[in-house]
Amino acid sequence: MDMIKIAFFDAKDYDIESFNRSNTSNDVSISFFETRLTEDTVKLAHGFDVVCIFVNDLVSEKVIDGLVDAGVKLIALRCAGYNNVDIKYAYGKIHIVRVPAYSPYAVAEHAAALLLTSVRRIHKAYNRTKDFNFSLSGMTGFDLHGKTVGIVGTGKIGRIFIDICKGFGMNVIAYDKFPAKDSGIEYVELEELWKRSDIISFHCPLTDENKHMVNAQSIDMMKKGVVLINTSRGALIDSAALLEGIKERKIGAACLDVYEEESNVFFHDFSGHIVDDDTLVRLISMPNVIVTSHQAFLTNEALSNIADTTIGNVKEFFTNEYSANEVCYMCDKVGSCPQAHGGKCF
């Protein structure tokens, strides 16, 4: 087999370290680029067999055409979600593989960490005691025990978060378009989940159907003081509506690891610069909002699994002309892919 050449976009130090550690073969070569994959940077892919991308790389129609013209045969997502890829346009032109599960525990545990930090004011206590301020004024939280948590999305991450919540003695209800059979989970419709939940946590992929599922109308149905946790995809929540809900004291707290306009902000250091996104700036300024920069996945175990699976996907694709982790437009239409999946999707 000839050397497989991978153009790795949006590379961070932790990516480079984990992929170099995982790539022990002599038949895969990785070139790391700091820039994201966009219409302006797609020309960097010339001469490569594969592009490896993350959640904020943009794979539009023009990017897909550019990759095809460059001779790229495979898009290797080093993440589970693929809402940033136009999979419909890619069908029949270029193959796509992903990492379906790298560490569901990492994401679920981060959601729990955000929740505990918020409701017990741990972030505020940390800042205060750094200044030797040991006052407890304004630090009152609430018990999780006995509260009702609504889980939107009951895949691996959602079910692990459910187990964590049950460990705290919380009452769990859930919504999923495709409920898990024989799971013992109490499934309800979204409207009921909005109305009953003290805490709502999102663990579902982003689709055209559920974009801005949290909006002015759904917020109006929620309990006063509800806590929202999003470690999934930013555009599940209408940020402007979220801000209004916080200002109106309807939303008690928001814990956000993702943000719908994060692509030009997250993963970068803006500490010495002005951030142009007024909504994000106002959200961060709110005392009951915690924002982390898409770091829920970031554990040693997850990084290792991402690297191993991504390189495995690439080698499997070129060696066997097949990858079990391929995704395509027809597969995304729930089982209607014309292939028997003993081979490529097209």
Task: Give me the active site residues, please.
Answer: 233, 262, 294
**What is the pairing mode between strands 326-327 and 95-97?**
antiparallel
Q: What are phi and psi of 39, to 5 degrees?
A: -60, -30
Q: Say if residues 40 and 85 touch (Cβ distance below 8 Å).
A: no
Residues contacting residue 144 through CB under 8 Å, at least 6 positions apart: 115, 116, 119, 165, 168, 169, 170, 199
Chain-centre distance of CA 89, in angstroms?
A: 22
Q: How many CB atoms lie within 10 A of CB 47?
A: 11
- DSSP β-bridge partners for residue 174: 151, 187
Positive or negative, the CA dihedral 252, 250, 233, 199 is positive
* CA dist list (Å): 184 to 81, 101, 153, 154, 155: 26, 23, 15, 12, 14
Enumerate helices (H) and strands (E) in the chain, giving the number of each.
12, 12
- Dist CA 288 CA 223 (whole Å): 16
Q: What are phi and psi of 232, to 5 degrees?
A: -105, -90
Chain-centre distance of CA 81, in angstroms?
A: 7
- Phi-psi region for residue 262, left (φ > 0), alpha (ψ -120 to 50) or beta? alpha
Strand order in the sheet with 199-202: 171-175, 148-152, 199-202, 226-230, 251-256, 289-291
